[in-house]
Structure 1
Amino acid sequence: MASRPRHADVRAEMLAAATEAFERDGYGRASLAGIAAEAGYTKGAVYSGFGSKAVLFAEVCTAQFEALTLRALEEVGRELSAEGTGRADLITRLASVLTSLTYDGGRRWPLLLHEFQAVALRDGTVAEEYRILSERRVRFLADALAAHPRLAALDPDRLRRTSSLALMLVHTLAVEHHLSAGAMDRRSGELSFTALLDGVLPR
């Protein structure tokens, strides 16, 4: 007799199917029934595991954001922790990380998050999931930055505020670039992040 799939395996398969569906169809057009079918389960199984499409999207978005953030930070981690890294170098490296999050492979996710945000403005249940997701992302970025020796001494509240402002800028620039690439190209975005960091990091 075949054994029942483990809960962790079912969850992973649903998250994988949901990731593909949201990336392909967007938040509004993706359906729990379609995601369940792609994963090989019933719609009821998706509800049992996540409760709603908003919760499922928040889980997927969190995983995507954390993976992209870690990958971007790891790329410059050595430079950030190197001896003699001055303030200007630190700002340049961090601006590069944030630019990568905005303009590179994961650019679809900031756009999807804006779609989720628009739905949240009209739906209180989605709004609560959006709030939880936003807090999670800010906390994750602040903790990731604090793990670097050059930033560990910064006040935690300052790091949280900086992370919050940076993520707002990531999403605004992603949308502007999508709608008007010529007006907000990669270089313009990098200069915007540099100006933000120069204003918030202590001298």
Structure 2
Amino acid sequence: MARSTFELDVRGYLGVQEQLALLSLPPQLRRRLLNNVTKRVRSMSRQRIREQRNVDGSAFAPRKGSAKGKKKMEAGLGKLLMVTRVNADEAELGWRNTLTRWVASQQHNGVSERRTAAQMRRWNKVPAGLAATEKQAKRLRRLGFKVRQEGKKSLTRPTVAWIQEHVNYAKAGLLIRILDNEQTESTGAQSWDITLPKRQFLGAGTERDTSLLVNQVLQQILNSPR
């Protein structure tokens, strides 16, 4: 499965003495360790988004065409990034929403594929609070987004209200990137070749970086009042 989460089992980053110290801690303190480390990784990942840099320190691949100089890439994913699972043995940093995890995976691993207008029209109504914003809906309309609505024979440009009812926030963001950055010149095209470069902001860095972070937080917990 393509990576879209940061999973952490701290035992792999500790020496023998540190592992013994970890095992001496009660479950609630081991959980605190994992929670603290994972939240620090979240902060580091969000910082990379602000700096528009990958885990290895290189700059994000630039946008194409008219999107240059606009909103920072991956900002929406950074805001939704959270600790999705944590217990006394392991933790996971990622996204609760399945679609958002898919979008994150596309961005992390890069993708080259063909999408069709028919695929774009396969929407389900989205729950309140997860819908595309009015600004996104208006942007999609300006970019020529079209669907085949019930009772109509040809593709039409949907209203702002329709888009907000049928397109969620994450998918709207992906569509905007596709239509604005990757689409061919003809806005009436029925298929698009999409190439998204890797933009890898999620993680603590190298194995050594992760090990140093885990050991630092462990020492803080061992030296703190119980």
On whether the aligned pair clears a TM of 0.5, the verdict is no
Which structure carries more strand by proportion?
Answer: 2
The structure in which a higher percent of residues are helix is 1
| TM-score using structure 1 length | 0.29
Specify the structure having the higher radius of gyration (Cα): 2
Structure 2 length normalisation: TM-score? 0.27
